[in-house]
Amino acid sequence: MAKKPPTWTDIKTSTQDNVIWKSIFRPGSIYRKGYRDTSRDRALAAMNNVLYHLHPVKVKRHGLKLTYTYCLGGLSFFLFVLLTITGIFLMFFYRPTAGAGAELAYLDMQNLQAAVTFGNLVRNMHRWGAHLMVFTVFLHMARVFYHGAYKPPREFNWVVGVLLLLLTLLLSFTGYLLPWDQLAVWAVTVGTEMGGFTPVFGKQVQFVLLGGVVIGPNTLLRWYVLHVLFLPFVTVIFMAVHFWRIRKDGGISGPL
Amino acid sequence: MSDEVAIDQAVYDRLISEGKSERVARAKAKAATVRVKRAGEGWDIGPRAADANAAKLSEFKANVGGSGGGTATATAVADAPTGRLTPEERAARVAASLGQGNDSPSMGVPADPKHTHRMLALIPPSGIQQVTDKQQDKVYTWPHLLIVEFVAMLAVGALLLIVSFFIDATFRELANPNLTPNPSKAPWYFLGLQELLRYFHPMVAGVTLPTVVLVILMAMGYMDKNPSAKPENRKFATMAFTFFLIMWTIFTFAGSFFRGPGFNWVWPWVDGLFFEL
């Protein structure tokens, strides 16, 4: 008699019941063998998950209501992750070089849109996602204000949040220059001219930001490094503090 | 205990005749049976036994505990004829080794062989740890919150993908420092500021005002002394912030859609849009 083919349950059991699987998924993981929908396993699923860095085991019930948070903070973070992923993709095809006879940035942009598989789609997602993130971060701030969630004990986390809004604007603005087209260069010209009016050291600020007195190849390289390394690095640190403080300050605010 | 305790029928009948309920009568009748049984086995139970224990305790305290610690203990041990401590001596010894005073609650408790616990610490009724958290209405993060977040993520991701599929991001001709586009505009989130440039000196519109706004925003948690988060208790804060938002939106809209060549005022339905994302 021929051996019976394994059933779906057999495959599931043999996949889950081995050392490798068990080393990846900690006890309580919903992917472990024997997960049951009990209070104990629900608590373990949160505790034994990397998301435990973000979420406690239990959250206030009123915070689940979509109209309380509109998920704005979470979506801002999601968009940041999405922008990181699409941004890394774009970095493979982009060189931050400009100047007569070596307009590589602009050529790479053209090439990205015309010749790279999914290049145009990913670029679109990066651009629209960035605009959307500015918008969600802004709305998140308004939501937090209207819930009075900036009040003690959350007053410091509100400060971190305002800095994150500022960082989001800077991330978006530095990225704005990178296509090196007319729109990019002149928008940044308008923006940096305003910075030049800073009292006392305005011209110095402008010079450091532009890498010269006017926008040129140096500016592009500087803003590229700011955009892909410096500002994301700072933002990640501030986000870590922001998320940590949410939990330390007693979780989500309210109920009102 | 699997054995069913028999009912003391006499007690049961008496209680029923006194008008007690059947449930109470049955329970008390069972208790009576147990009492009789235990008395037959020589157990000391009930208030009389407790009185006897208390008397023994005070007698012991008078004899041993009264002089307080070391000397009495030493005497007691030295006097022990068999080399084996009597329960009283053992208790005194323990008390002495713990350095307790006479007022200590466990001092001089006769060491009943069945009575092996002793006091190690006094716990205040409120407990050792101060629990300040109020009981709150909470739910498990998994699955309740994570599922909401996951769906929101998918929805926004899908929306972004669809928009990106159908609408191409802006891409103009190569940058030319010698050719200023008319109008030249900042990105949309700075157009409120650019609009302000029409009314104020650049130092005010471009530097002072944004700095002041940012500082006030950051200081808000420290300036607002009203502890309430209820909308009805913070009408002024709500009103002031809403005013700020509306002003900002108006300036941004004006800069975005109502400014054309030379950054002069235009009507978008007459002159068209001068706005790029």
Chain A closest-CA separation from residue B9 CA (Å): 48
Judge whether residue B268 has pLDDT over 80: yes
Which residue of A39, A70, A112, A146 is the best one to mutate when testing the B interface, meaning the one whose CB has the most B CBs within 10 A?
A146
Contact between A28 and A44 under an 8 Å Cβ cutoff? The reply is yes
Contact between B145 and A57 under an 8 Å Cβ cutoff? The reply is no
Q: What pLDDT does residue B8 have?
A: 86
Blockwise average pLDDT, block size 10, chain A, 256 residues: 84 89 88 88 90 91 91 96 97 94 94 96 97 97 95 95 97 96 92 84 88 92 97 98 94 86
- Asked whether this complex has an ipTM greater than 0.85, the answer is yes
Chain B closest-CA separation from residue A120 CA (Å): 8
Judge whether residue B32 has pLDDT over 50: yes
Q: What pLDDT does residue B71 have?
A: 42
Say what the pTM is.
0.75
Contact between A76 and A137 under an 8 Å Cβ cutoff? The reply is yes
CA distances from A85 to A58, A79, A167, A210, B219 (A): 30, 10, 18, 27, 34
Out of A236-245, B27-36, B213-222, B230-239, least confident range: B27-36
The crossing angle, in degrees rounded to 10, of helices A155-177 and B209-223 is 160
Judge whether residue B74 has pLDDT over 50: no
Judge whether residue B26 has pLDDT over 70: yes
Do residue B214 and residue A166 have CB atoms under 8 angstroms apart? yes
DSSP 8-state code for residue B204? I
Q: What pLDDT does residue B46 have?
A: 63
Chain B closest-CA separation from residue A12 CA (Å): 22
Do residue A79 and residue B156 have CB atoms under 8 angstroms apart? yes
Q: What pLDDT does residue B131 have?
A: 64
Asked if the C-beta of A30 comes within 8 angstroms of chain B's C-beta atoms, the answer is yes
Q: Specify the residue for token string 């603005």.
A: A173
* Structure confidence at residue B149 as a pLDDT band (50, 70, 90): very high
Do residue A254 and residue B156 have CB atoms under 8 angstroms apart? no
Q: Which residues pair with B138 in a beta bridge?
A: A60
Q: What pLDDT does residue A191 have?
A: 86
* Structure confidence at residue B49 as a pLDDT band (50, 70, 90): low
